[in-house]
Amino acid sequence: MNDFDPLNNLFPKPREEIINMQSYSAPLENRRNLLRLDFNENTLGPSPKVFEALKAIKLDEISIYPEYNLLKKFLCDQYLDSRKFHNDEIGIFNGADAAINAIFNSFGEKDQIFLTTNPTFGYYSPCSEMRGMKKVTCSYIGENFLFPIKEFEEKIIKHNPKLIFICNPNNPTGTVLRAQEIIQLANINKNSLIVVDELYEKFYGDSLLQVIDFERNKNIVIIQSLSKTAGLAGLRIGFTFGHRSLIKYINKVTGPYDVNSFAVTGTLAALKDKSYIDKYVLEVKKAREWILQKFKSTKIRTHFSGGNYFLIWPNKNPKILIEQMREKGILIRSMENKKDIGKSIRVSIGTQEQMRFFWDNYKAVSYTHLTLPTKA
């Protein structure tokens, strides 16, 4: 909706795309001291070694501009056990959102096609809208939200999209594409850039980054971060991986000091404590299986898949349930206005202890609608 009134505004008119776009916003305030199962964050926080590293930062490190060489070197040599990267194949950003924005800044063009799935991560759409791109989407298939691979292939051929975004596993459905399937999609049209958002890949374990050859697949860029696994959501850190020519153009539209020194220090400490991340991911997987079995003993519709979250279709008004759970000290998130899942709630998965707390309170506020299992 165009709400700009030139007669009552004392500044120049914004671009038409900005006036008409729907901005991305998230209810992130007043979440402290609650069990946060609403934004898929690490529910335990970072490794103690991150806190120690941040406390050890000297004053002169705050007063000078940040340096990235040590972090870049670690990412090149030790980020993955299975392979190494060249320095020019990596970009460092102020969170994955900044990486997404930089990719649109580099390749998003007015009236060009942006292809993705629906529903998916909500920040892609405003990024495409502010560049004046035309969005084309494919819906997931059936109650299990299978990836519409055939329709996706057809739309790549038909629309010749400039940008293609695949969230893998997808947020919020958890849908997963195998690495080879993504490579096959990229091979359909070399003039399309496929962006693979892998923020949740560790909870599934089939990362394209492990196997991709950037010399053969120059039109693929992969995004990862440490918000979901290492507990660094507040520090804001994200990475892009791709062919060096591709990364060069993405880095061109990024500020020289966008990532602050605290984020660099905390990220290095987190990456060096790989066992902490691995232990947390394993705990989440165990908790996912535990809570899945609990819901299987009820008649409540749920959907579990590749991420550290699942969907519930409650037998009562989702807004009422969300408020009741908040009163119990637990935050969960409505999927209202999301295609095909608008009546559902997304629940992040924490530790087994946290999911027991969730389950006990979910039963308490939903007991009239649940067929409860007998105690084991």
Arithmetic mean of pLDDT, 20-49 = 90
pLDDT at 306 over 50: yes
Which part of the chain is CATH 3.90.1150.10?
27-43+275-365
The pLDDT assigned to 72 comes to: 97
pLDDT at 7 over 70: no
pLDDT at 2 over 70: no
pLDDT at 218 over 70: yes
Q: How many CA atoms lie within 13 A of 290 on its CB side?
A: 17
What angle, rounded to 10 degrees, do the helices at 352-366 and 274-296 form? 30
For residues 259 and 99, what is the distance between their CA atoms, to the nearest angstrom?
11
- How buried is 17 (Cβ within 10 angstroms: 0-12 exposed, 13-18 middle, 19+ buried)? middle
Beta strands of 119-219 (E only): which ranges?
A: 134-139, 163-167, 193-197
Which part of the chain is CATH 3.40.640.10?
48-272
Higher pLDDT among residues 361 and 372, named by residue: 361
For residues 264 and 241, what is the distance between their CA atoms, to the nearest angstrom?
17
Q: Could you tell me the two tokens for 83?
A: 């392979």
pLDDT at 50 over 80: yes
Q: Could you tell me the two tokens for 255?
A: 């500020």
Please report which confidence band the pLDDT of residue 346 belongs to, taking 50, 70 and 90 as the band edges.
very high
Higher pLDDT among residues 86 and 28, named by residue: 86
Bridge partners of residue 313, in order along the sequence: 301
Higher pLDDT among residues 237 and 370, named by residue: 237
φ/ψ of 59, rounded to 5, equals -60, -35
Instruction: Give the SS3 label for residue 335.
Output: coil
Percent of the chain with pLDDT strictly greater than 70: 95
First to last CA, the chain: 56
φ/ψ of 249, rounded to 5, equals -70, -35
pLDDT at 371 over 60: no
Give yes or no for a contact between 318 and 337, defined as CB atoms under 8 angstroms apart. Answer: no
Torsion of CA 252, 257, 263, 265, to 10 degrees: 110
Please report which confidence band the pLDDT of residue 372 belongs to, taking 50, 70 and 90 as the band edges.
very low
Single-letter code of the amino acid located at 183: I
For residues 76 and 62, what is the distance between their CA atoms, to the nearest angstrom?
25
Bridge partners of residue 333, in order along the sequence: 346
φ/ψ of 16, rounded to 5, equals -55, -40
- Using alpha carbons, select from 266, 267, 366 the residue that is nearest to residue 313: 366
pLDDT at 241 over 80: yes
pLDDT at 95 over 90: yes
Q: Give residue-wise pLDDT tens across range 63-76.
A: 999 999 999 999 99
Please report which confidence band the pLDDT of residue 368 belongs to, taking 50, 70 and 90 as the band edges.
low
- Could you count the other beta carbons within 10 Å of the beta carbon of residue 41? 20
The pLDDT assigned to 369 comes to: 47
CA 115, 118, 120: angle at the middle one, nearest 5? 95
Classify 27-43+275-365 by CATH class. alpha beta
pLDDT at 370 over 50: no
Give yes or no for a contact between 240 and 103, defined as CB atoms under 8 angstroms apart. Answer: yes
The pLDDT assigned to 376 comes to: 44
Arithmetic mean of pLDDT, 182-202 = 97
CATH code of the domain made up of 48-272: 3.40.640.10
pLDDT at 6 over 80: no
Instruction: Give the SS3 label for residue 293.
Output: helix
Give yes or no for a contact between 348 and 36, defined as CB atoms under 8 angstroms apart. Answer: yes
Continuous H helices in the chain: 16-20, 48-55, 59-63, 69-78, 96-107, 124-129, 149-159, 179-188, 244-252, 261-272, 274-296, 318-327, 352-366
**Residue keyed to tokens 């195998």:** 178
C-alpha 356: how far from chain center: 25
The pLDDT assigned to 4 comes to: 67
Q: Give residue-wise pLDDT tens across range 96-151.
A: 999 999 999 999 999 999 999 999 999 999 999 999 999 999 999 999 999 999 99
